Chain A
């Protein structure tokens, strides 16, 4: 089973990093080494592997491999950026734990099991709020994040349990299916901190450094969303049950998140809040995908998720590098940042391209398809325009960046160049430390640029993203046509019974009756 080395590396690495948290440099070193090993082991995952454990098991897919590979790469880069620009001592451990739980969640074919692993991943993120000073405020914010993950997890456990059993003798109204679906969709929204459930995410943005923010609000919920999408496509979509009232609620949450999060990001004056709300805004598109309930949304939704997590990690890396370079996160104090740090400007442009996309890019097409599948008519056009609302806050940052720098602050800032210090072989450790300190902003900037380019590649459909996203979810058996919707007009298959089935009214499988009604018997 090629997934096991990855799970072992990330699981053991997380435990070791947590145990050594008192020595932050050691913990960071362990974390970075484990993350590098995670990149290698993720690359070695073989799609199609199956490990059976009793009647359950793990199965690998190409999407799982790509998700974990991108996650490990982003994790390494964000860890080093965090080491350069300031981070939390538990950041590497949390990243590794998130990767381990995401690997489990995406490899478990049974949604009832997958939501357990995905919930554990969300809970771990609360550790990022713990700091030696001001522990009470951090604990308060962390507890709210933990509560959101636990409540979402309970909703998902109940929803998957209700559907994940033999329903051949169902006697309930179809609305119950809708309630199960609504519970799962709300769980996804809660995990992303979608509007109006964003209070915990907004406070978290205040509390954690930029480089760690996408771990909690993007990567962990993304794995949860993939599980929810697979569950909805397998369990709800084929039933042809009328769940429109519930869909409208989910659509409203998605639309509100897209539009209002962009508005919030545009008016906030701190770049960490811009990053936080930009994640919520993009999560709105994923929530729209959950609302589609059509197999056609499967591939674009997963393609968008891949692009979303990497692009938002790149944006957070840009924000961390900007803060490290200019020692401020206030938009008003960043006048001329693009002129004074061209490398950050290039990274910013790459982030914009990766998150908004251009016609023809995979992320652009995926977003447009999700919106067109979610709503019809003029509303679709309005919503599609709304997905370009991030251009407002991107434009604001660009205008500030191109403005004339404040008096006395012109020229290229020191953090954008390599700072060479005289080599001192008599004290190599001191020299290394001095050189590292002198190049921290530069290191953060260059790595942010690298991450932004990875994001552009993902948005373009590189690394085999769309092909991996189009694949089926993990299966312990052979490939099945699990997403084919049940045709309401199809003649039920004859069932061997003693009495003839002719007494059943033929062709009366209406759309308002669930298609998994009992197989007709007299």
Chain B
């Protein structure tokens, strides 16, 4: 076993444990960035420089986008916002990841000779096990986003273990995917934080479904005051603001 790959796998799994266990949003984002940065290194042979550069730039960009959503910003009235963190504690997460890595190591190749290193399989299974709980039980935007990114990263590690080192175009597409997920999650997280009372928490489910009107090009007031209209008939939320009411930029 290549000791460098083993070390990289340990870093990835350790950072993933921090990412799913910590409650401080910035710590979580930093740990995720480490996972995304080190994951492409777990390949034998190591990826071509162009592909590796794409992954590294993508990881940094993904981490930075989430950082923007997670950081405190007094000028935007974005107060400190923690995330859910692990409900079972980091020791339990660690043990679950260790067990999953053993499974991944023993199931390497899934019945056929694999094209990648066994350590990638172990790391992929461990990260996947860590991602399951945030994805399934997460109740705030950042935690679910972290879970989704970890899950995708786990899938990519398993893909490396099965099929060998991805080519440059695939690395570029992976970077595009991770940045897209991080950008959308950051936008959603920021939207949640800007809504009182702040924080990344999910909205409480309303007792009835609430229709939310268009925010762009709404119909004029005179046309929306129809007596049979939705707002009049069901008391639904048809509030539309003609201008973007987002807070002023600093």
Which residues of A approach B to under 8 Å, CB–CB?
22, 24, 27-28, 53-57, 82-89, 91, 104, 110, 112-113, 116-117, 119-120, 123-124, 126-127, 129-140, 142-143, 146-147, 150-151, 153-155, 157-158, 160-162, 164-167, 169-173, 176, 203, 206-207, 209, 270, 272, 324, 326-330, 333, 406, 409, 437, 440-441
In chain B, positions 159-201 with a C-beta closer than 8 Å to chain A are 159, 162-164, 166-170, 173-174, 176-177, 180-181, 184-185, 187-189, 191-192, 194-195, 201
In the assembled complex, how far is the CB of residue A192 from the closest CB belonging to chain B, in whole angstroms? 19
In the assembled complex, how far is the CB of residue A250 from the closest CB belonging to chain B, in whole angstroms? 21
A134–B229 touching, CB < 8 Å: no
Is B43's beta carbon under 8 Å from chain A?
no
Specify the chain A residue showing the minimal Cβ separation from B234: A330
Picked from A91, A135, A440, the residue with its CB within 8 Å of the CB of B192 is A135
Most chain B C-beta atoms within 10 Å of own C-beta, residue among A83, A126, A140, A272? A140
**Would A104 and B217 be within 8 Å (CB), given that A133-B239, A157-B152, A327-B224 are in contact?**
no
In the assembled complex, how far is the CB of residue B166 from the closest CB belonging to chain A, in whole angstroms? 8
Q: How far is the CA of A157 from the CA of B176 in the complex (A)?
A: 15
Picked from A54, A82, A136, A437, the residue with its CB within 8 Å of the CB of B203 is A136
B residues in contact with A124, CB < 8 Å: 180, 184
A residues in contact with B170, CB < 8 Å: 56, 110, 112-113, 116
**Would A88 and B215 be within 8 Å (CB), given that A22-B244, A120-B176, A132-B246 are in contact?**
yes
Q: How far is the CA of A514 from the CA of B112 in the complex (A)?
A: 13
B159–A86 touching, CB < 8 Å: no
Picked from B162, B189, B217, B240, the residue with its CB within 8 Å of the CB of A162 is B162
A residues in contact with B155, CB < 8 Å: 153-155, 157-158, 161
Pick 28 A–B contacts, CB within 8 A, sort by A: A22-B246, A24-B217, A85-B217, A86-B217, A86-B240, A87-B216, A88-B214, A88-B216, A89-B216, A119-B177, A123-B180, A126-B184, A136-B201, A138-B212, A142-B184, A147-B144, A150-B148, A150-B149, A151-B151, A158-B158, A165-B163, A166-B115, A176-B111, A206-B209, A206-B211, A327-B223, A327-B226, A333-B233
B115–A328 touching, CB < 8 Å: no
B151–A143 touching, CB < 8 Å: no
Q: How far is the CA of A206 from the CA of B210 in the complex (A)?
A: 7
A residues in contact with B98, CB < 8 Å: none
B233–A54 touching, CB < 8 Å: no
Specify the chain B residue showing the minimal Cβ separation from A176: B111
B184–A164 touching, CB < 8 Å: no
B169–A56 touching, CB < 8 Å: yes
Q: How far is the CA of A164 from the CA of B114 in the complex (A)?
A: 11
B residues in contact with A112, CB < 8 Å: 159, 163, 166, 170
Picked from A134, A135, A146, A171, the residue with its CB within 8 Å of the CB of B237 is A134
Q: How far is the CA of A441 from the CA of B226 in the complex (A)?
A: 14
B residues in contact with A406, CB < 8 Å: 228
Q: How far is the CA of A86 from the CA of B5 in the complex (A)?
A: 53
B203–A161 touching, CB < 8 Å: no
In the assembled complex, how far is the CB of residue A151 from the closest CB belonging to chain B, in whole angstroms? 7
Interface of A is mostly: helix
**Would A116 and B154 be within 8 Å (CB), given that A124-B184, A327-B219 are in contact?**
no
Q: How far is the CA of A440 from the CA of B221 in the complex (A)?
A: 13
Most chain B C-beta atoms within 10 Å of own C-beta, residue among A137, A151, A170, A440? A137
B151–A150 touching, CB < 8 Å: yes
B212–A207 touching, CB < 8 Å: yes
In the assembled complex, how far is the CB of residue A86 from the closest CB belonging to chain B, in whole angstroms? 3
Is B207's beta carbon under 8 Å from chain A?
no
A132–B245 touching, CB < 8 Å: yes
The tally of residues in B whose CB lies under 8 Å from a CB in A reads: 76
Most chain A C-beta atoms within 10 Å of own C-beta, residue among B166, B187, B224? B187
A residues in contact with B212, CB < 8 Å: 131, 134, 137-138, 206-207
Q: How far is the CA of A243 from the CA of B158 in the complex (A)?
A: 23
A129–B188 touching, CB < 8 Å: yes
B188–A131 touching, CB < 8 Å: no
Which residues of B approach A to under 8 Å, CB–CB?
48, 110-115, 135, 141, 144-145, 147-149, 151-152, 154-156, 158-159, 162-164, 166-170, 173-174, 176-177, 180-181, 184-185, 187-189, 191-192, 194-195, 201-203, 206, 209-220, 223-226, 228-230, 233-234, 237, 239-241, 244-246
B residues in contact with A139, CB < 8 Å: 141, 188-189, 191-192, 195, 202-203
B163–A209 touching, CB < 8 Å: no
In the assembled complex, how far is the CB of residue A246 from the closest CB belonging to chain B, in whole angstroms? 16
B residues in contact with A164, CB < 8 Å: 163
B202–A140 touching, CB < 8 Å: yes
In the assembled complex, how far is the CB of residue B244 from the closest CB belonging to chain A, in whole angstroms? 5
A residues in contact with B152, CB < 8 Å: 119, 150, 153-154, 157
Q: How far is the CA of A139 from the CA of B200 in the complex (A)?
A: 9
A residues in contact with B151, CB < 8 Å: 150-151, 154
Specify the chain A residue showing the minimal Cβ separation from B115: A165
Question: Which 7 pairs across A and B sit closest by C-beta, in order of nearness?
Answer: A172-B111, A86-B214, A327-B226, A135-B191, A161-B159, A150-B148, A139-B192
A147–B135 touching, CB < 8 Å: yes
A residues in contact with B141, CB < 8 Å: 139-140, 143
B180–A120 touching, CB < 8 Å: yes
A residues in contact with B240, CB < 8 Å: 86
Picked from A104, A153, A165, the residue with its CB within 8 Å of the CB of B162 is A165
**Would A329 and B230 be within 8 Å (CB), given that A119-B177, A143-B144, A206-B209 are in contact?**
yes
Specify the chain A residue showing the minimal Cβ separation from B113: A169
In the assembled complex, how far is the CB of residue B31 from the closest CB belonging to chain A, in whole angstroms? 18
Q: How far is the CA of A470 from the CA of B87 in the complex (A)?
A: 52
A328–B229 touching, CB < 8 Å: yes
B111–A170 touching, CB < 8 Å: yes
B residues in contact with A437, CB < 8 Å: 220
A330–B233 touching, CB < 8 Å: yes
B residues in contact with A165, CB < 8 Å: 112, 114-115, 162-164
**Would A135 and B195 be within 8 Å (CB), given that A82-B216, A89-B216, A326-B226 are in contact?**
yes
Beyond the given A56-B170, A155-B155, A161-B163, could you list 4 further A-B residue pairs with CB under 8 A, ordered by the A residue number? A135-B194, A136-B192, A143-B144, A206-B212
**Would A272 and B211 be within 8 Å (CB), given that A171-B111, A176-B111 are in contact?**
yes
